[in-house]
Amino acid sequence: MMASALQRICFPIYGVARVPRRRYFVFDRHRLPYLNLIERAHCGYCSYANGVIAYTREIAARTEQYWCPIRHARPARGAHHRFASFFAYGDGEAYRRGLPAMRRRLRPRPHRNRI
């Protein structure tokens, strides 16, 4: 998968936190006793397909936040959750001033020891 390769190679170079695959792929509906074999297979396909889309979308969203966090001139349908915090189209001053902070928010967070 190209998205996985992108994040494995580029994210460490630019200090962007990696997207954990396991959070986006959930396979549990096959355990439901009221589904027949065909329905379970369909649930497996849907779980996989939607997991791939969500995982890839988050990698693309982090990439966009790092490289070009600027909203479009016209509304973008189905924009990812990070898009709302992007800089306004045409606001070069805010972009230059706020880009370092925008990129810092993508850095991996240190693990805290729980006591």
The pLDDT of residue 110: 80
Residue 112 has pLDDT above 70, yes or no: no
Residue 111's pLDDT is 66
H or E element at residue 3: helix 2-14
Give the C-alpha separation, 63 to 10, whole Å: 9
Structure confidence by residue, pLDDT tens digits, 71-110: 999 998 999 999 999 999 999 999 999 999 999 999 998 8
This prediction has a pTM of: 0.87
The answer to whether 65 and 82 are in contact (CB under 8 A) is yes
pLDDT confidence tier of residue 113, bands split at 50, 70 and 90:
low
